[in-house]
Amino acid sequence: MFDKLKLKRQPKPETIRKILICQSNADLIQCRKHIHRIGGTVVKELPLVNGLVCELPDVLMYELESTSGVKRIEDDIKFHTSCLNYFFRRRSSPQQKPQEVGWGVRRIGAPEAWPISRGAQVAVAVIDTGVQLDHPDLQGRLGKGFNAISTGRSANDDNGHGTHVAGIIAAADNDIGVVGVAPEVIIHPVKVLDSTGAGSLSDVIEGLQWCIEQKVDLINMSLGARQDSETFREMIKLAAERGIIIVAAAGNSGPAMDSIDYPARYPETIAVAASDQQDAIADFSSRGREVDITAPGVEIPSTYLKGEYRSLSGTSMATPHITGTIALLKARKAELDLAEIKAILRRSAYRLPNFAPEYQGVGLVQAGVAVNKYSE
């Protein structure tokens, strides 16, 4: 009797979520069958990397590890926005306030580029929390979207972060609200983060997969993770091999050194640090040898939920300044590759005095100089 009572009190097995990468597409089919056979559930497939995302009781992990044809098994690690949520203030509605060019857009000289390029015809994916699809300042700027969290649902934003990022890149020049760095690009919202600004590696990978299939020109990733992933690295590399330029937030773990987030650590991305109104590197901006360039990232005004505007801070806000600048360049010369773009950004940047390359990379981006002098 005692043994039976003890058995009844055993806790339920914990459900775990794993990413399986198979040796081949044929192995993927067999792995899917095996997961169902042992009592697991296939959540989604990642065909570009022969991957499956599955959930199963932790006690069955040994069964998973012994599955034939499995190349590796990874944790479905967590991602987060690269924004400091306590650095914001509510702004007026577009009907109450005339259009302004934010200090960051002015500081990088974007208006000086507009007579030559406004980013027309450039497709920019914003992998984030989604975008408010009916925001007045983003009308005419939004293309096809994708929701990796809830299949079949729109990429509408339920957090605000993605809408803010999209506005820094592409808010329309329409006499209301704010103006983006490249006000004629097309934004493709890719929702991989939830209402809290958090998400899973598998959803980020699926978002990248969609971007590759859609053949976008640029990807903005104002998000990051502290943990590396071989599968994530493979997807970033694959996107880069397809000619997609990926711009990523360095992270907000400063002033500690060697604190760059993934994917900004990967050489296939452009890693962005944040500066303030005094051209100083923000205290929160992550430091490390992977930093490529700097852009404004403190108290940046942009679009937000409910048709409103807010000022936010973080390398999340710095990153779209770089994405917008590259869009201006790509609109002039679509065939520019990653090496050529990095060279243009390096030659045109303003090096901030008193800050080492680990803080600022090549310096503060200068969009006007880059477009006017180096995009012929």
Single out the residue of 173, 167, 114, 123 nearest to residue 143, CA to CA: 123
- Name the residue among 53, 78, 81, 48 with its Cα closest to residue 235: 48
Residue of 191, 185, 95 lying closest to 140 (CA atoms) = 185
pLDDT of residue 86: 42
Please name the residue that has the structure tokens 């055993």: 10
Tell me yes or no: is domain 11-76 CATH 3.30.70.80: yes
Token pair recorded at residue 185 = 């690009």
**Amino acid identity for residue 107 in this structure:** R
The ranges assigned to domains in the chain are 11-76, 80-374
**CB neighbours (10 Å) of residue 356?**
12
Q: CA-CA distance, 52 to 33, in Å (whole number)?
A: 11
**Cα 372 from Cα 62, distance rounded (Å):** 60
> How many angstroms separate the CA atoms of 213 and 239, rounded?
10
**What is the pLDDT, as a whole number, of residue 219?**
99
- How far is Cα 160 from Cα 130, in angstroms, rounded to an integer? 8
Amino acid at 259: S
Angle between helices 338-348 and 367-374 (to 10 degrees): 110
Q: What pLDDT is recorded for position 89? A: 45
> Scanning the structure block, which residue is given the tokens 């002033």?
255
The pLDDT assigned to 3 comes to 56
Residue 40 to residue 42: CA distance in whole angstroms: 7
d(CA 62, CA 18): 13
Catalytic residue numbers, as ranges: 128, 161, 316
The encoded tokens of residue 70 equal 């499995």
If one counts every other C-beta atom within 10 angstroms of the C-beta of residue 242, the result is 12
Homologous superfamily (CATH) for 80-374? Peptidase S8/S53 domain (3.40.50.200)
Q: Do domains 11-76 and 80-374 have the same CATH topology?
A: no
The per-residue pLDDT for 67 is 82
Three-state secondary-structure class, residue 137: helix
Q: Are 220 and 128 in contact (CB under 8 A)?
A: yes
Q: Which H or E run contains 78?
A: strand 78-81
Q: Which pLDDT value is given to residue 1?
A: 47
Which residue, 171, 327, 313, is CA-closest to 247? 327
Burial 115-133 (b: 16+ CB within 10 A, else e): eebbbeebbbbbbbbbbbe
Q: How far is CA 163 from CA 47, 132, 324, 350, in A?
A: 29, 6, 15, 28
Residue ranges, the chain, pLDDT below 50: 1-2, 5, 86-90, 92-96
